[in-house]
Amino acid sequence: MRTVLKRPDFRLLFGGLFFSMTAESVLLLALAIWAKDLTGSDGMAGAAILAVVAPMTLAPLIGFVVDRFRRKPFLVSTLLVSAVGLSPLLLIVDRDDLWILYAVAVGYGLSFIAVSAALNGLIKEVVPDELLAEANGALQTVKQGLRLVAPLIGAGLYVATRGWGLAIAGMTGFLIAALIIFFLRVPEAKPVRSESRWLSEVTAGIKHLTGTPSLKRAVVGSVAAILVFGFSESVFFAYVDQGLHRPPQFLAVIVSVQGIGGLLGGLTASKVVRRLGEISTLALGIVLFLPLFVTSIFPSLWLIFPTSVMAGWGLPWVIVGLMTLMQRVTPGPIMGRVSAAMEALLSGPQAIAIGIGAILVEQIPFRAILMICAVVCLLSGAYLWAGRVLSAPAPEPSESDAPAEPAPAPAA
């Protein structure tokens, strides 16, 4: 990680993303808690997260738009739009205003796709291939580290301000991120307009994912795990309520504990990728969620905290393995479409799973859903591990890959 952080351009990007990731970490779980508090329903809380994920069905179209612009100005513009899009949260007073929360969540989901697609392309412009795992690991270390405090801050802001503090915090984070990234200097050529048909251009990302064996294996294996994660969005509200007999805000404590493992996972992810390869890292990361699902069948504070650390440890391995593989084998001109297509292929099933989970958690015991999650998680990890030969371990980065600070100009 030290190697990539020696690059001044990546440090500036890293600094801007710190504020945008802080805003995301404060908002996401807090929106679900807000919906739960307004309605008293676990299903409506899960539906708030569904509203964020559902726009992923438009990801191929958004990726097509992203690839028609330079990465940095598009990313800055999207962050500014994201800040403005949070302002309607200031109008929410009671349950009758729940539609505002869902509308903002949908808009936030759209901006998330655009930010992710532009960011993956920008990272490929800023960082050489041999440092991609380190760059992704550094970002995940911060993102998972924020899980230690951001969910608690989000829940605390909601309790203290009844919601308007969340909007202010999110808007501030996105605005600062846009300002910092604006000063990033990266040479980007103007995207070349293709002569292909519009439909072919939009679907180019999906074709690349399905036509590249390593990416196809990674996506197919991940979809099963994503279904499990989608079910768990609503299930863990029921777990906290019916199993631990705690208020919904207690879920923020569990997420923060996961952040401890996430911090450790982010610090080690690039080393695991270099030693085992991206697909192996992805498989191991998914399997680390298995103890959480199994032990949650027997609700206990003594079990939920250590297994949450394990699951948190696995999450950066999943993300770093998947993102590094995609960035490494994807040509720059179609990076936005491939990134957005991956978001759609993963988040589309997740949206369906969240919706089904929100319904099932009201109809059947949450323990039965957790048992299904455990079985699917195990099968997904085994499928990915069987295809680990498709991604070779990445080369070790050398110190020469990370230029030091530019030398001062000679005196006249």
Q: Please enumerate in sequence order all residues whose Cβ is within 8 A of that of 59, keeping only pairs 6 or more positions apart, or say none.
A: 113, 117, 340, 341, 343, 344, 347
For tokens 């179209």, name the residue. 61
CB distance 299 to 239 below 8 Å: yes
* pTM given for the model: 0.73
Q: What's the length of the chain? A: 412
CB distance 206 to 60 below 8 Å: yes
What's at 143, amino acid-wise? K
Direct distance between the N- and C-terminal alpha carbons of the chain, in angstroms, rounded to an integer? 37
Tell me whether residue 70 is exposed, middle or buried, using C-beta atoms within 10 angstroms of its C-beta: 0 to 12, 13 to 18, 19 or more. Answer: middle
> Where exactly are the structural domains of the chain?
2-184+202-393
Helix (H, G, I), strand (E, B) or coil at 296: coil
For tokens 């103890």, name the residue. 291
Predicted confidence at residue 407, as pLDDT, reads 37
Angstrom distances, CA of residue 300 to CA of 252, 312, 366 = 16, 18, 14
Angstrom distances, CA of residue 234 to CA of 95, 312, 411 = 19, 18, 64
Rg of the Cα atoms in the chain: 21
User: What is the rounded distance in angstroms from the CA atom of residue 101 to the CA atom of residue 265?
Assistant: 32
User: What is the rounded distance in angstroms from the CA atom of residue 5 to the CA atom of residue 11?
Assistant: 6
Predicted confidence at residue 110, as pLDDT, reads 87
DSSP for residue 94? S
Rounded to the nearest 10 degrees, the angle between the axes of helix 335-360 and helix 301-329 is 150
Q: From the CB of residue 95, how many other CB atoms can be counted at a distance below 10 Å?
A: 12
Q: Please enumerate in sequence order all residues whose Cβ is within 8 A of that of 268, keeping only pairs 6 or more positions apart, or say none.
A: 137, 317
Angstrom distances, CA of residue 103 to CA of 35, 51, 163, 358 = 12, 8, 15, 18
User: What is the rounded distance in angstroms from the CA atom of residue 119 to the CA atom of residue 136?
Assistant: 11
DSSP for residue 244? S
User: What is the rounded distance in angstroms from the CA atom of residue 310 to the CA atom of residue 314?
Assistant: 6
2-184+202-393 folds as: Growth Hormone; Chain: A; (1.20.1250)
Q: How distant is the alpha carbon of residue 246 from its chain centre?
A: 27
In 3D space, the residue among 55, 57, 117 whose CA is nearest the CA of residue 330 turns out to be 117
**What is the torsional sign of CA 235, 241, 244, 249?**
positive
Q: Please enumerate in sequence order all residues whose Cβ is within 8 A of that of 391, keeping only pairs 6 or more positions apart, or say none.
A: 214, 218, 277, 278, 279, 280, 325
User: What is the rounded distance in angstroms from the CA atom of residue 175 to the CA atom of residue 12?
Assistant: 15
pLDDT tens for the chain, 412 residues long, are 677 778 888 888 888 888 988 888 777 777 887 888 888 777 787 788 778 877 877 777 888 788 888 888 899 999 999 999 988 988 888 888 888 989 998 888 888 888 888 888 888 888 887 888 888 888 878 877 776 677 677 777 777 877 788 888 889 999 999 999 998 888 766 765 655 555 666 677 788 888 889 989 998 888 888 777 777 777 888 888 888 888 877 887 887 788 788 888 888 988 899 889 899 999 999 999 999 999 999 988 889 999 999 998 998 899 889 888 988 888 877 888 888 788 777 766 776 777 777 777 778 888 888 898 899 889 999 999 998 888 766 555 554 444 444 333 333 3
